[in-house]
Amino acid sequence: MVDESNAGPVAPAVVADAEVKAPAGKKRSSSRPQKAPPEPEPKMRAAKRRYTEQERSEKLRLIETQVSKGITLKNAIKSAGISEQTYYHWKGADKSAAQKDLERTGPLLVGDEFAELVQLDEENQRLRKQLGEKLRTENADLRKRLGLG
């Protein structure tokens, strides 16, 4: 009887068949080295500078004077050495600070405004009286000329 469990010579043939049946897909070349991912170039940014309140107000004043002379706002901002965003940020902060100052000194201004209002009211009454007198005299002159009065 032949021993069927001994499949010695048959096994290498199966392995050889397996090599032939391997798919012949894309060829992969391992001779070319893989590229390293490119390192991002560091952006050249100007170093952040902190300006004092005095420097800010001076630059804002400089920009305002240049604009009043006829230079465009954009060019005036450039000549001051700041960005447009910084200009508008400073301008907004300056306005809010001015509003806070007004709120702080509000009651004092109310008294001054009231005194000014009383003075303007007195001047208004005086001018009305002068206008009334002038109109009456002109009206009387016209009646005399027309013979009505």
Q: Report, as an integer, the average pLDDT of 138-145.
A: 94
Give 20's pLDDT tier (boundaries 50, 70, 90).
Answer: low
User: How high is the pLDDT of residue 33?
Assistant: 66
pLDDT(140) > 70: yes
pLDDT > 70? residue 119? yes
137: tokens are 């005299």
Q: What is the DSSP secondary-structure string of the chain? A: ---TT--TTHHHHHHHHHHHTS--------SSPPPPPPPPPPP--PPP-PPPHHHHHHHHHHHHHHHHTT--HHHHHHHHT--HHHHHHHHHHHHHHHHHHHHHTHHHHHHHHHHHHHHHHHHHHHHHHHHHHHHHHHHHHHHHHHT--
**Contact at 8 Å (CB) between 60 and 90?**
yes
59 has pLDDT over 60 = yes
**Can you give the pLDDT at residue 49?**
80
pLDDT tens track for 72-105 = 999 999 999 999 999 999 988 888 877 777 677 6
What is the pLDDT, as a whole number, of residue 111? 77
User: pTM here?
Assistant: 0.39
Residue predicted with more confidence, 48 or 126: 126
